[in-house]
Structure 1
Amino acid sequence: MSDLSVNNDGPRAVSFEPNGTGYIRKNIIKIHPKVKVIFLGGLNQIGKNITLFEYNNEIFILDCGMAFPDSEMFGIDLVIPDFSYLVSNKNKISGLIVTHGHEDHIGAIPYLLNKINIPIYGTALTIGLIQSKLKERRMLGNAKLNTITVGQSIILGNFKIEFIHVNHSIPDAVGLAIHSPAGIIVHTGDFKIDCTPARGEMIDLAKFAEFGKRGVLALMADSTNADRDGYTATEKIINQSFENLFQKAGNKRIVIATFASNIGRIKQIIDCAIKYKRKVAFSGRSMLNYIAIAKQLNYIEVPDAVIIDIELVTKYTYSEIVLVSTGSQGEPMSALYRMAYSEHKKITVGPNDFIIISATPIPGNEKTVNSIINELMKLGCEVIHESMYEIHVSGHACQEELKIIHGLVKPKYFIPVHGEFKHLRKHAEIAKNMGTPSENIYVGNSGDVIEISQKGIKKVSEITLEPIYVDGSGVGDVGSIVLNDRKHLGQDGLIVSVVTLNRADKHIVSGPDIVSRGFVYVKESEKLIREARYTVTKAIEFCIAQNTKDWNNIRTKIRDDLYKLFYSRTKRNPVILPVIMEV
């Protein structure tokens, strides 16, 4: 006879044996359920956040984001997670929970739903943004979207998930308390501690403290700003900066570039516009989309007379207009980018424009943002950016805020998430200084599969992940070989050698002709082009002398000889395409 009891240390198996008059209790054995946590993205990188929680053949997914391509990914629009593990385990998946509506958390959802149609859970704004994304792709009809509220709990298989209000640079962001058979796992999501947020309430620290008192098995916390000391400034300080800048602008038209998702900041801009009797227009597809959804869900309440269509901007004087646009990161073809390069169809900027870039450049974007600032200034615009005024604050917690969360939650184990290696490592140091033993801290990598139980935390396996590139309408059809070819073409250019041979005896009928694209300017390199023609002729004569009849072997000989010539003359290796035609 046996029974199962539960205490603070986890389940215990208890057996009972007869002793003649009844049963005696024997053999108390601790059982340590193990929960698997699988990272398909979000570790050692910024973006592409997606994590799986698995127990007894049941999986739920946390977030499903994309990442922007780096400068080496020529022609790539975005990068999404490798869904191979999910596809091969699709019958185990109970749902997808989304912490908030930023692209690095929702951007890959349409690509996942193309493979697996699963229920999705999120707060109202988050679901609204996902709806818009799916509607655009004509995928909304089959989507299983579920709106949840803060404080609500849902059951997904063996997991009970409770939603905790947090502050971030987009409304309706949540953290999670995941009640698992192994214990409570707290995931902060992207967060900061803002005592005076521009919209809504401050983060629910009491709820984090409540779980800390109950006992938290593991904490997984945002590490994006772990290398920044102090506290992240409150969003409210931006309001005073806007007040000062609206006065400074005088009779000029005000153009403000910011993140389309920062609804709180856009509300502050609108409030300032109302105070200074200016109309507000929006430019940029994503900006218009976010504003429409925020208004529909009552996250922004604005008098109708304040908002005008961008088509009507020219009907007002410069001093009567505030234009809110995308492009704070210098994104090609964004509204601010097109203004800077005089390509915007409806807005022309110049000396009468006062431009505010209300964002900090994401690491790697500094050069692009500075280029746009320079172009705007060449047009005569006055440009204000974050190094001049406090016009941007981060949406992520700095070191002192992270310490507060660690102090409240008091986890047994800690896993830093959301960040590059330097961020994860620094957050691990903070956890150690807050009292978590180093052996209870796991700094992982995307692809890691770990097990967490009351007994320990350890890596048990690793999933090989391939980056999936989205290039226009193509998903996953561009691999590393194609990217290397694009990089090669971009750096060294292309040479095409065209020659026509007689089918019977292989002698040259016409050519060789040499076409250069991105390698050398032909008119200034006539000697090199003549040498190239001579090299092709000699290569063909050599093949004829060797009685080589296979076209591929002839092409290889031409290519190899041209490589040697061009490298010896230019120390560069262009992509060489030998073309042979026969008559």
Structure 2
Amino acid sequence: MSLETLKIVPLGGLGEFGMNCMAVQWKDDIVVIDAGLMFPEDDMLGVNIVVPDISFLTENREKVRGILLTHGHEDHIGGLPWILSELNVPVYGTEFTLTLVEGKLEEHKLLDDADLIEMLPGSSFELGPFRVSPLRVTHSLVDCVALAIRTPVGTIVHTGDFKIDLSSPDGHPFDLQSFAELGKEGVLLLMQDSTNVDRPGFTPGELAVLPRLDEIFARTERRLFFTCFSSSIHRIKLAMDLAHKHGRKVALIGRSMDNATEIAQDLGYIDPPPGLLIHSGQLKDMPPEKVCVLISGTQGEPMSALSRAAVDNHKHARIEAGDTVVFSSRVIPGNEKPIYNVIDHLYRRKARVIHDDGRSGLIHVSGHASQEELRLMINLLRPKYFIPVHGDYRHLTQHVEVAVGTGIPQQAMLVEDGEVIELTAGSMSKTGKVATGRVLIDSGSATEAVEEMIIRDRKHLSEGGLVLAIITIDKMTGRQQGAPEIVTRGFAVNEQAMATELRQTIAHTIESSSIEERRDWMLIKEKVRSDLKRQIQKSTGRRPMIMPVILEI
């Protein structure tokens, strides 16, 4: 690879949703954009989170100058504990983003060694040969930025997650002017969020939910339970404003809801009127028509506050007949079953549930740009080259078509994780591939990877069950002492008949082995495993995990 080109190396987020991470390299200097995670798929048993393989960064650790964060969602900051445990470099983010990062790093005992540096929208700073300019964008979270990075070959722009909202509830609208000025200055490469590329038109602004929510607050006669993503600070603020307007006190229930609201209050994004917030313990003493409960658990998480309240198992959140529960959020693909389980339980409590009632008006809006906003951004920046980011292969493909359709980029390229893009002032090309992939982090940890073999074993156990054969052998003679003990788990057969059959198989295996073989317990264990596997498959057609245990006496 030429040393006189700018290299773009995506390590995650191109070809999947989540795990966003991208390296930008000029000679001996690398900056990283975002450090996200993705949540495990159903077959990743016992896995807590999935993070990108950062072999490329660890192999070039002396060149990495820092990590730039576009915003504070988990798919952009959730992999930081893993990455910083391997590669302790400065982390740059806006005030709200870094506050979320601090809590995450403190939880994993990494905060004391972390170097967190605040960046301000509109204020540029130097990082090696790069000049970084954060630009204010709007999203479903507050304090989000796109990144304009001036490099020796030209300016590249990474949008992060965005939509164009000119009436954001926090008073910080999308900075159209700065993007237009950047376009006049000249943009070499635009890397743009592909999440909603399959949606025509414009994404509604956050205030678009206000009329319908106002109607719900006005018409609700008893308790109102309101659930949304705890990171949706705009939505939480709107709910508080409406509660105040309609004479309701607000109780916060759920750790994530409580933490996010506390941070937003500390940083001035939420400023509830005096006396609006009450402790959850006061709910039982309040008239039902005078309370609004902001509760976490919008995705039906099993131990969330809403899930427990739905089965009448929460200390303070009691949902009764006639209460209203509003889901002001989207269903994340894969979460349909737990969400509808919670909704079923709410109906059993005779609650009124509003999640997607088909009536006029919106109770939730997306935080990502639709097709017309994507085209508007391209028209503002007028980039020479274009790469779609953040999405499955189908989203990236469609996004290339949208970009080409504007007639502006000279070249639009579909890129996947690991592909190395070399960029000069007059060319863009793929020149190689680096190692990428998914690192599976075990439950209860953010820094301990799980080997693929362990996941295979867990899957094998979940599908086939376990057969444990405990065999006692005389160390001197190599003969069995007593009948083997057979233990089965998750293996539905006639246990007594199967145990008899397996004991006979073990006896035959040992008796047919030479004295020398019997004295080598590692060898005899493998022979027993092989013979038991053959016998079980012949008798039942099943393939459980088989574990012979040899006890020598």
Q: Pick the aligned partner of 1:103 from 69, 74, 85.
A: 74
1:501 aligns with 2:473: yes
In the other structure, the counterpart of 1:201 is 172
Q: Deviations over 1:48-102 (max 9, x none)?
A: 1111111121111111111111111111111122233223322222222111111
| Distance (whole Å) between structure 1 residues aligned to residue 76 and residue 35 of structure 2 | 5
Matching residue within 416, 425, 428 for 1:445: 416
Instruction: State the shift of 1:345 in Å.
Output: 4.1
Range moving further from structure 2, 146-155 or 202-211? 202-211
Segments of 5+ residues of structure 2 without an aligned counterpart are: none
Mark the CA change 1:318 to 1:560 in structure 2 (over 3 Å): closer, same or farther. Answer: farther
Distance of 2:482 and 2:274 partners within structure 1 = 72
Q: Indicate yes or no: 2:537 matched with 1:567.
A: yes
What does residue range 97-136 of structure 1 map to in structure 2 within 5 Å?
Answer: 97-136=68-107
Letter in 2 for 1:516: T
Pairs within 5 Å for 1:55-454: 55-251=26-222, 253-386=223-356, 388=358, 390-436=362-408, 440-454=411-425
Q: How many residues align?
A: 549
1:474 is displaced (CA, Å) by 6.4
Structure 2 partner of 1:18: none
Question: Residues 448 and 537 from structure 1, CA distance in 2 versus in 1: closer, same or farther, beyond 3 angstroms?
Answer: same
CA spacing shift, 1:207–1:462, aligned 2, 3 Å? same
Please say if residues 32 and 182 of structure 1, whose CA atoms lie closer than 8 Å, have aligned partners that are also in contact.
no
- How far apart, CA to CA, are the structure 2 residues paired with 1:530 and 1:387? 59
State whether residues 468 and 475 of structure 1, in contact with CA within 8 Å, keep that contact through their aligned partners in structure 2: no
Structure ID, larger Rg: 1
> How far did residue 107 of structure 1 move?
1.4
Q: Distance in 1 between matches of 2:470 and 2:315?
A: 43
CA shift in 2, pair 1:109/1:304, >3 Å: farther
C-alpha spacing 1:348/1:530, structure 2 compared with 1 (3 Å): farther
Distance 1:298 1:170 in 2: 14
Structure 1 residues 502 and 137: CA distance shift in structure 2, 3 A: closer
Partner of 1:479: 451
Instruction: Using the TM superposition, give the Cα deviation of residue 305 of structure 1 relative to its aligned residue in structure 2, in angstroms.
Output: 1.0
Q: State the Cα deviation string for residues 347-388 of structure 1 (Å, max 9, x = none).
A: 343424321121111122222222222233234333221354
Letter aligned with residue 196 of structure 1: S
Structure 1 position 152, deviation (Å) = 0.9
Superposed CA RMSD: 2.2
State the alpha-carbon separation in 2 of the partners of residues 474 and 118 from structure 1: 17
Aligned partners of 2:342 and 2:168: how far apart in 1? 30
Shift of residue 265, structure 1, vs aligned partner: 0.3
3-state SS, counterpart of residue 552 of structure 1: helix
Shift of 1:502: 2.5
* Matches of 2:52 and 2:517, distance apart in 1: 51
Q: CA deviation at 1:534?
A: 2.5
Offset at 1:45? 1.1
Q: CA contact under 8 A between 2:203 and 2:366: conserved in structure 1? A: yes
* Distance (whole Å) between structure 1 residues aligned to residue 289 and residue 167 of structure 2: 31
Q: CA deviation at 1:342?
A: 4.4
Mapped pair 1:518 → 2:498: no
- Which region of structure 1 is more displaced relative to structure 2, 406-415 or 133-142? 133-142
8 Å CA contact retained: 1:198, 1:236: yes
Separation of aligned partners in 2, 1:518 and 1:155: 59
Query: Is the partner of 1:302 in helix, strand or coil?
Result: coil
Normalising by structure 2, we get a TM-score of 0.94
8 Å contact kept, 1:32–1:455: no
The separation in 1 between residues aligned to 2:483 and 2:280, in whole angstroms, is 57
Could you tell me how far apart the structure 2 residues matched to 1:81 and 1:231 are? 32
For 1:9-49, what per-residue CA distance to the aligned partner results, in whole angstroms no more than 9, with x for missing partners? xxxxxxxxxxxxxxxxxxxxxx9952111111111111111
Percentage of pairs with the same residue: 40
User: Which consecutive unaligned segments of at least 5 residues does structure 1 have?
Assistant: 1-30
Moved over 6 A (4+): none
Q: Secondary structure at the match of 1:38?
A: strand
Q: Tell me the residue number matched to 1:550.
A: 520
